[in-house]
A = this chain, B = another copy of it.
Amino acid sequence: MSGFPVDTVFAALAVRLGERASRSNAIVAAHGASESYHAAHPPDIVAFPQSTEEVAAIVSICAAHGAPIVPWGAGTSLEGNASAVHGGVCIDFAEMNRVLAINAEDLDCRVQPGITRKRLNTELRDTGLFFPIDPGADASIGGMTSTRGSGTMAVRYGTMRDNVMALEVVLADGRIIRTSRRAKKSAAGYDLTRLFVGAEGTLGVVTEITLRLHPVPEAMSAVVCPFGSFEGAVSTAIAVIQAGIPVARIELLDEVMIRGVNAYAKLGIVEAPTLFLEFHGTPAAVAEQAEAVREIAHEHGALGYDSATRTEDRNRLWTARDNTLYAGTGLRPGSKALITDVCVPVSRLAECLVATKRDIEASGLIAPIVGHVGDGNFHTLILVDPGAPDEIARAQALHERMVARALDLDGTSTGEHGIGTGKMAFLERELGEAVDVMRTIKRALDPKGIMNPGKIFK
């Protein structure tokens, strides 16, 4: 049972939004599911605003009646971040998905939260600029902002923390604020932009995002580099980072994941621990970087070093990488993935990855590994039968050991997926009393507790 008057709230929303407020079974069910193994929690109502003013009106109605508010982008989050665990009103940004301004001369743009990263890059096509953050899924910019997402190119271009310049936010009482102006840097007061980036909608609803863009590099080349040993691949990645080579991407896939990718995307590459790399820059810089990495890889037992400079070959490679979630679950039809997301200092990565690999092998579970190893971040996709509680418990135990190991190495339980509901159990262990400060801020900005409740902390 939801703890708010659903009929009253729905009636008020319908007055304002007409058919863009919905209680249809199909629609609420679609907004409770996710791509992960977490249980579904549908909202009571789904609203489809078309403007910031409509979002403010929705929030005001919810505030008046104590209804939970759950923002929704593309539904690709992995930790139940947009799950309506307490019911309430889901705000779906499907109809707020436009590019509002492109300032090519300033390398920035302003967008609505519902636009996906691929659509944004399509709209930027003629500007000579691109938005590099690539979490794999075609996530919405709003969702990526709220989970502080990153992905394959973070090693070169940073995370959403670094690429969000300003936000428009609807607060829990319906007021609308802008967190910053468009200057590239500012020392004017508290960094509210960074406070809302990664807050998972628990402090306010993001309604506009100003993003930093980057010039499309003059030259790009990709490399597939298989290794005779898992350790060789990991050590190569670490040495590349420590040498300061500005790779644009450096992704590790273990032989299990390569098997999945081969089956899913017909990539036809050797089933060995493999690095996928990409280099961006002038033609001379790209050649220089590729050669420097080749030497390091050779020293660590690389079995090959295959370049792809043609756009279609590069795209095929990175599309395969982007689909590792589906490629991974494809290894066990009918399974769902418990996806881990630990991130450790690069100097501890080899230790962390090798111990994890052994732990997976000992567990008897199937759990392919794919990692943004340049940042010390990697995922395992622990494949479970969603109807087998015993297996889920074993997967969770494996996950817990992984997080404990990462924390022992001064790392984090989540490099990029956020806490959501799935990693709440680890937050206090990771940050101790700092979590109290987060709670204090939460209570100050959302005294009624209506903004995406049940996420990050209880």
When C-beta atoms are compared, the residue in chain B nearest to A433 turns out to be B177
Interchain CB contact under 8 A, B190 and A410: no
- Copies of the protein in its oligomer: 2
Across-interface contacts of A444 in B (CB, < 8 A): 440-441, 443-444
> Could you tell me if B103 and A181 are in contact, using CB atoms closer than 8 angstroms?
no
Q: Are B434 and A192 in contact (CB under 8 A)?
A: yes
Neighbouring B residues of A184 by C-beta, 8 Å: 343, 345-346, 375-377
Residue of chain B at shortest CB distance from A415: B185
A359 proximal to B (CB < 8 A):
no
Q: Which residues of B are found within 8 Å of A445, using beta-carbon distances?
A: 437, 440-441
Take A430-B188, A437-B192 as given contacts and tell me if A415 and B346 are in contact as well, using a CB distance cutoff of 8 Å: no
Interface digits, A238-267 against B, CB 8 Å rule (1 contact, 0 not)? 100011100000000000000000000000
Of A103, A427, A443, which is in contact with the most chain B CB atoms at under 10 Å from its CB? A103
Chain B residues near A154 (CB-CB < 8 A)? 185
What's the Cα separation between A106 and B415 when bound, in Å? 16
In Å, the complex CA distance between A175 and B434 comes to: 10
Q: Does A92 contact B (CB under 8 A)?
A: no
**Complex partner residue of A417 from B187, B288, B376, CB under 8 angstroms:** B187
Kindly provide the distance from the CB of A129 to the nearest chain B CB, expressed in whole angstroms: 9
Is the pair A410, B182 in contact by a Cβ cutoff of 8 Å? Answer: yes
Beta-carbon contacts under 8 Å, A420-454 to B: 423, 426-427, 430-438, 440-441, 443-445
Neighbouring B residues of A150 by C-beta, 8 Å: 185
Contact of A105 (CB < 8 Å), options: B178, B242, B415, B431: B242
Does A285 interact with chain B (Cβ within 8 Å)? yes
**A412 near B188: Cβ-Cβ < 8 Å:** yes
Bound-complex Cα distance A194 to B195 (A):
7
Pairs across A and B, CB under 8 Å, 18 listed? A105-B345, A148-B191, A150-B185, A159-B185, A176-B433, A177-B431, A177-B436, A180-B412, A181-B407, A181-B430, A189-B419, A189-B438, A190-B195, A190-B441, A191-B191, A215-B243, A440-B444, A441-B444
Question: Given A105-B345, A107-B346, A177-B431, 20 more contacts at CB 8 Å?
Answer: A103-B345, A106-B346, A108-B345, A154-B185, A158-B162, A161-B185, A171-B437, A175-B436, A177-B434, A177-B436, A183-B344, A183-B415, A185-B375, A185-B377, A186-B343, A188-B423, A189-B435, A189-B438, A190-B456, A285-B285
Interface on A for B, CB 8 Å cutoff?
103, 105-108, 147-150, 154, 158-159, 161-162, 171, 175-192, 194-195, 197-199, 203, 214-215, 238, 242-244, 282, 284-285, 288, 341, 343-347, 375-377, 406-407, 410-419, 423, 426-427, 430-438, 440-441, 443-445, 456-457
